[in-house]
Amino acid sequence: MARKIAVVEGDGIGKEVIPVAVKALEKVRDDLDFFPVDVGCTRWNREGVAIDGNDIEALRSADAILFGAITTPPDPSYRSVVVRIRKELDLYANVRPVHANGVSVTVVRENTEGLYAGVEEITPERATTLRIITRKGSERVARFACGIVQPGETLTIGHKANVIKADTLFLNTCREVAESLGVQYQDRYIDALCLDVLMHPGRYPVIVTENMFGDIVSDVTAYLAGGLGMLPSANIGDRYALFEPVHGSAPDIAGKGIANPSAAILSAALLARHLGDDDSAVRLEKAVSSVIASGNVTPDLGGNATTESMGRAILAAL
């Protein structure tokens, strides 16, 4: 039976890299039924609305979502589109794997609470954003992270419980979940972890942390993979799943045709794996690494290829 894939190109380089990822998926599978969902700043400029309830319903109707990047509309009252999607689809685990140069580090970022919970009050004199940590939110993301720890590996809980009281709940809940599942764990202060994961990546096969810390530490781990153009992610909930590059819409290079399409194609590989198709995922990952090894790469990786020519080489490798 055909699987329905919602495609959100979004804004900026999302419009450049996602079409390449769709073509790559079409090369490895002939049973995917793609349909576009137009949300983001381009739509906001046109219609004054970046996303509405019908779009959320369209996303809910898909077996999986392939997502580019969204520029937040320049209206201070507007809430981030992707944060809304993550909340409405309850995509509570943001998984950001780095497999490169012999190391493997996966960051599992809690995706629905923390500073992104949207509990804010702004006055001319004082601005407050509450950092919400709940037992339920911590428990389910810890359970997910424990599920991807391989035998013999250690889960690392990233936190700042020595200073931020809310993190004590996150840390203790993660510890309890790991103990109940028999998963070996350690904990690290997030700031120290940002340095040590670069110095000793082999010590951190799986890191679980709250929303904002996860955003930061996964950009840090992007260094291990060669930059943001290389990093895919999966946003997983109990019912829905969305796959997107870690990078944003990159306004500084949008329209120049030089965005690295690898993160988008590797996100497509995670999507294939989510559909239970490991073979296609491995084919996509191998095609990307063979083109990178050939040196036919975009400027962020030191080459002078374009999105189009690097994409064409990856499609040819498939």
**Interface with ligand ATP (CB under 6 A):** 13, 69, 228-229, 247-250, 252-253, 259-260, 263, 298, 300
Q: Report yes or no: 32 and 21 within 8 Å, Cβ to Cβ.
A: no
Nearer to ligand ATP, 21 or 250 (CB): 250
Smaller CB distance to ligand ATP: residue 34 or 223?
223
Pairing of strands 93-100, 103-110: antiparallel
For ligand ATP, the closer of residues 115 and 275 by Cβ is 115
Q: How many whole angstroms separate alpha carbon 58 and alpha carbon 39?
A: 11
Least Cβ distance, residue 207 to ligand ATP (angstroms): 19
Q: Rounded to the nearest whole angstrom, what is the least distance from the CB of residue 287 to ligand ATP in the complex? A: 17
In the complex, the smallest distance separating the C-beta of residue 91 from ligand ATP, rounded to whole angstroms, is 17
Cα torsion 270, 253, 56, 265 to 10°: value is -20
Return all residues near 236 (Cβ < 8 A) that are at least 6 apart: 91, 92, 93, 94, 95, 144, 274
268 close to 277: Cβ distance less than 8 angstroms: no
> Which residue, 209 or 298, has its beta carbon nearer to ligand ATP?
298
CB of 17 to ligand ATP, least distance (A): 6
Instruction: Check the CA dihedral 113-116-121-126 and report its sign.
Output: positive
Hey, what long-range contacts does 300-304 have (CB within 8 A, 24 or more apart)? 300/227, 300/228, 300/229, 300/258, 300/260, 301/226, 301/227, 301/229, 301/230, 301/260
Determine the residue with CB nearest ligand ATP.
248
Please report how close the Cβ of residue 223 comes to ligand ATP at its closest, in angstroms: 12
Supply the minimum distance, in Å, between the C-beta of residue 315 and ligand ATP.
Answer: 17
Nearer to ligand ATP, 218 or 280 (CB): 218
Q: Which is nearer to ligand ATP, 14 or 158 (CB)?
A: 14
Measured CA to CA, the distance from residue 300 to residue 298 in angstroms comes to: 6
